[in-house]
Structure 1
Amino acid sequence: MKRILITNDDGFNSVGLQALREALNPLGQITIVAPATEKSACGHGMTLTKPLRFIKIDDDFYKLDDGGPTDCIYLALHALYDENFKPDLIVSGINLGSNMGEDVSYSGTASGAMEGVLHDIPSIAISQVLQDQNTFGFDFTLAKETIASLAKKVLYQGFPLQSREFLNINIPPIAKEKCKGIQITELGIRMYGNDAHLHRNPRGEEYYWLGLHPLSWQERKNGKISDFSAIKEGFISITPITLDFTARNRLESLQNWIQQ
């Protein structure tokens, strides 16, 4: 039986996580390790300054108090799996909201997949783009069918990427019948602003609350379609992500600059 480990960054009680479990359950033995609380935008961080504890929710379903997605994958692989019987696939999601462009560097969802490929396990991050944050009654049909199909391909045909690379999937906020198909995309250039709101608590002390930026972006002007454009046009976006951050086309120019 195939073994699938799943996590997320929206917390163990997320409707997106439940949808992911339902989608992948027919494909093998599912183990869930998810954060006890929402960890959105936590990045690829690990908890090193306090202890972490597995809390059993159901058979093969745990919340990690109080870890993030990276902790969930790291500890699951070391505590719940035998060294010779690692998962065949790791899936992180279904995130409630997009993870496109440079947002991938902030994303806890993407970080769950990053941690997976660091341990040489095929990994996928999947996010459901939303028109707004009201997920009550949201139809995850398109996302569920997409991840089930791709997971099956990975499990039985092999992973299409190399070492330390993962798939980042974004699902458009449309009905299944309106989806135009799949586009293989690159990360677009996300445009950021300052959405920090200043408030005062009842004691008169100031604090800031960070808001959400609108999805505005630029293309990279190389003729390739970005994840943002694919979603806007009604396609599923699949982007191959590498963990190698080296700016290789700058190595020679940097060497020349150092020598000047």
Structure 2
Amino acid sequence: MKHILLTNDDGFDAVGLKALIEALKPIAKITVVAPAKNKSACGHSLTLERPLRMVCVEDDFYKIDDGSPTDCIFISVSNLFKDGFKPDLVISGINIGANMGEDITYSGTASAAMEAVIHGIPAIAISQVCNDMCQDVKTDWDFALAKEVIVELASRILSNNFPLDERKFLNVNIPPIKAIESKGIKVTKAGFREYGNDTHRHLNPRGEEYYWIGLHPLIWKPSVNKDCDFEAIKANYVSITPIMLDMTSYNDIKAIESWLTK
């Protein structure tokens, strides 16, 4: 039987992870290694300044105390999977909230997929876009559309049909609608996210200043061909974006070489 390693950045007890397990158990052996607490927006961080404990919650299910999603993949690949054996697929999610545009660089969900492909393992990051600060998803969302999509994608990959070259992964975003309302799947590019500065300044009881970063609304710069992830979600399509880890701006290499000779 094929073997899928699951993680997330919302914590080992998150509803999205539970939905992911339910969806994938019928098609593969499942191992879960997830952070012990919410690590949203931690990016591709690896913990180096302290030891980490991997705690067994139940069979094939572990949490890592104060570990990042990247830690979860890094530690599990080298310790739970030995003698050259690797999982057939890594899936990170189902994240509560969007991971589109430049948010991908902040995302712990996407970063776990990044770490997987660094180790030569096919990977998917999947996120459930939501409204009203995600309260609807945290309480009574059924994740039916996300489950349907991830089973289809995972089944294709487990049939030795991963469509990407090395160090590339699939970033999937699910619109905040019921499955019956979906218009299908669109392959998209990452959009141009526009950010505000939702930072709140406060004083603690001792008069010391502190700051709390808030949530930014999903605002983006329209793309010429209406083919970015934000626009697909707005139109009630599932967005699938192929992401590469090589961030080199190849078109600018000659320009920089010329600039250095002036």
- Out of 251, 254, 257, the position equivalent to 2:253 is 251
Give a deviation string over 1:190-235, Cα, whole Å, max 9, x none.
Answer: 00010000111222221111000000001343x2500000000000
Q: Which is worse superposed, 13-22 or 79-88? A: 79-88
- Out of 229, 232, 238, the position equivalent to 1:230 is 232
Normalized against structure 2, the TM-score is what? 0.97
Give structure 2 stretches of 5+ with no counterpart. Answer: none
Structure 2: how far apart are the matches of 1:200 and 1:96?
30
Q: Name the SS of the counterpart of 1:143 in structure 2.
A: helix
Whether 2:74 is the aligned partner of 1:74: answer yes
Structure 2: how far apart are the matches of 1:225 and 1:115?
27
Where do 1:4-15 residues align within 5 Å? 4-15=4-15
Structure 1: how far apart are the matches of 2:82 and 2:207?
53
Q: Name the SS of the counterpart of 2:131 in structure 1.
A: coil
Question: What is the alpha-carbon root mean square deviation over aligned residues?
Answer: 0.9
Where do 1:81-92 residues align within 5 Å? 81-92=81-92
Give a deviation string over 1:72-93, Cα, whole Å, max 9, x none.
Answer: 0000001101132210000000
Structure 1 runs of 4+ aligned residues shifted over 2 Å read none
Q: Where does residue 197 of structure 1 map in the other structure?
A: 200
Aligned amino acid, residue 7 of structure 2? T
| Aligned partners of 1:8 and 1:34 also within 8 Å | yes
Structure 1: how far apart are the matches of 2:113 and 2:152?
18
Structure 1: how far apart are the matches of 2:223 and 2:43?
24
Where do 1:148-159 residues align within 5 Å? 148-159=151-162
Give structure 1 stretches of 5+ with no counterpart. Answer: none
Q: Where does residue 38 of structure 2 map in the other structure?
A: 38
Structure 2: how far apart are the matches of 1:195 and 1:116?
32
Q: Where does residue 56 of structure 2 map in the other structure?
A: 56
Query: Percent of aligned positions with the same letter in both sequences?
Result: 58
Aligned amino acid, residue 31 of structure 2? T
Q: Where does residue 103 of structure 1 map in the other structure?
A: 103
Where do 1:117-156 residues align within 5 Å? 117-132=117-132, 133-134=134-135, 135-156=138-159
Structure 1: how far apart are the matches of 2:85 and 2:55?
22
Where do 1:168-179 residues align within 5 Å? 168-179=171-182
Normalized against structure 1, the TM-score is what? 0.98
Q: Where does residue 47 of structure 1 map in the other structure?
A: 47
Give a deviation string over 1:54-86, Cα, whole Å, max 9, x none.
Answer: 111110000001210000000000110113221
